[in-house]
Amino acid sequence: MAEIVYLRMRHRIQKKLRDKVLLKDLAQIVADPSSTAILQDLCIYEVSEKDQNIIVVDSTQVLRKIREVNKNIEIQLIGPAQTIIEVVFKRRAMSIPLFIIVWLLLFTGSALTIMNFHEDVSMQYVHQRLYKMITGKEVDKPLIFQIPYSIGLGLGMIIFFNHVFKKRLNEEPSPLEVEVFNYQQSIDQYVIMNENKESMKKLDDR
Amino acid sequence: MIANILFVMFIGLAWGTTVGAGYVAFLTVFGIIPRLTQLTKTGNKIYAYEWSVVCGAVCGTIAFLREPTFSLPQILLLFWGLAGGIYVGMIAAALTEVLNVFPLLAKRVGVDDRLLILMMAIVFGKICGSLFHWMYFVP
């Protein structure tokens, strides 16, 4: 009777250029200790200069390699059908000047947009009328209302993103983190469909 | 004459209905209320929050159409301003999130680990821009 090996492909791994991609990197293996020892060091793929920074290894490639070694194994795949290999070239250190430029860009940009927004919705006028409504007096600059308003503006954003510097208000992931995750997930999905030659066959492909 | 009045009333009602529906749709897209219930763990009070938004909108409309004046102490405005600011801040934060600004920027600049500092740039930008606007910019 054929031995059963369970494989679970990992979702996403990182490899350097000219690294060998072994089966244990690509997948979690559940099998007898003896066959695990043989299978885990099986080289499935080698990252070369020809590759771009994303490689998709389909599970069928893995199956073929295993069958080359041993035809007498029955493989059960559980989980994802492919693994995305992210080729990490030299770890690019983020430049501090660039970061400062982006920071200042966001800072001045958001300052400008909030001013535009206030003008756009005539907020000064609204504040003046509100001041008159509450106190019965008329003022040109109801700063007692407007300064707390400005501080609250920043506070509201922090509450929404659930972060006060490193401190969290709550253990749930912030919408920002979820958003970054969703974005990564969409990219992965795209890459799985488009970089993987096995998953789409067009008419003119031979 | 009566037909005229009825017609105007009908237009007013229709106008109000569409604006109200639009306002709620706007709030739904931003998801501020779900976000707040998630933070405070008061998901079962969601209907109370709905009514709070509706009452707030109606009171605001009445206040601006009828212009009542109350002779209340100035200090009340401090809290009102803070609350109003938090609300607008949450909408602004939600807007940047809806537009997917951060994930894109983080990818392009390669600062996945410093998202927080970038977010603080926007937060401080909003506070400073707003203060500058009220204190110096407006005539």
Q: What is the pLDDT of residues A13-43, one digit of tens each?
A: 888 888 888 888 888 888 888 888 888 888 8
Closest CA in chain B for residue A93: B110
Between residues A160 and B53, the one the model is more confident about: B53
Check whether B62 has a pLDDT greater than 70. Answer: yes
Check whether A197 has a pLDDT greater than 80. Answer: no
Distance from CA of B58 to the nearest CA of A (A): 15
User: B71 and A136 in contact by Cβ < 8 A?
Assistant: yes
User: A107 and B128 in contact by Cβ < 8 A?
Assistant: yes
Check whether A169 has a pLDDT greater than 70. Answer: no
Residue B90 sits at the chain A interface (C-beta within 8 Å): yes
Q: For B24-39, what is each residue's pLDDT tens digit?
A: 888 888 888 888 887 7
Distance of CA B63 to CAs A19, A52, A88, A139, B121, Å? 70, 62, 60, 18, 36
Domain boundaries, chain A: 3-88, 96-192
Give the pTM. 0.70
Residue A95 sits at the chain B interface (C-beta within 8 Å): no
The pLDDT-based confidence of B127 (bands split at 50, 70, 90) is very high
Residue A149 sits at the chain B interface (C-beta within 8 Å): yes
User: B90 and A157 in contact by Cβ < 8 A?
Assistant: yes
Check whether A45 has a pLDDT greater than 90. Answer: no
- Name the superfamily (CATH) of residues A3-88: eubacterium ventriosum atcc domain (2.60.480.10)
Distance of CA A108 to CAs A97, A100, A114, B121, B139, Å? 16, 12, 10, 9, 21
> How large a percentage of chain A has pLDDT more than 90?
5
Confidence (pLDDT) at A164:
54
The pLDDT-based confidence of B17 (bands split at 50, 70, 90) is very high
ipTM rounded to 2 decimals: 0.80
Distance of CA A87 to CAs A16, A50, A92, B108, Å? 5, 11, 13, 17
Residue B125 sits at the chain A interface (C-beta within 8 Å): yes
Type and span of the H or E element at B94: helix B76-98
Residue A114 sits at the chain B interface (C-beta within 8 Å): yes
Residue A165 sits at the chain B interface (C-beta within 8 Å): yes
Check whether A161 has a pLDDT greater than 80. Answer: no
Which among B35, B109, B81 is positioned nearest to A157, based on CA atoms?
Answer: B35
Confidence (pLDDT) at A93:
64
Distance from CA of B57 to the nearest CA of A (A): 15
Residue B57 sits at the chain A interface (C-beta within 8 Å): no
Q: Any alpha helices (H) in chain A, and if so which ranges? A: 23-26, 33-40, 59-69, 96-120, 123-135, 143-161, 175-194
Confidence (pLDDT) at B129:
92
Check whether A146 has a pLDDT greater than 70. Answer: yes
How far apart are alpha carbons A13 and B13 in whole angstroms?
Answer: 59
Q: For B69-90, what is each residue's pLDDT tens digit?
A: 888 888 888 999 999 999 999 8
Mean pLDDT of the region A109-115: 90
Amino acid symbol at B27: L
> What residues in B contact A99, CB-CB < 8 Å?
109, 111, 114
Confidence (pLDDT) at A186:
85
Whether A2 and A71 have beta carbons less than 8 Å apart is answered as: no
Type and span of the H or E element at B102: helix B101-109
Confidence (pLDDT) at A92:
62
User: B125 and A109 in contact by Cβ < 8 A?
Assistant: yes
Check whether A89 has a pLDDT greater than 80. Answer: no
Whether A75 and A63 have beta carbons less than 8 Å apart is answered as: yes
Domain boundaries, chain B: 72-139
The β-bridge partners of A28 are A8
Between residues A94 and A206, the one the model is more confident about: A94
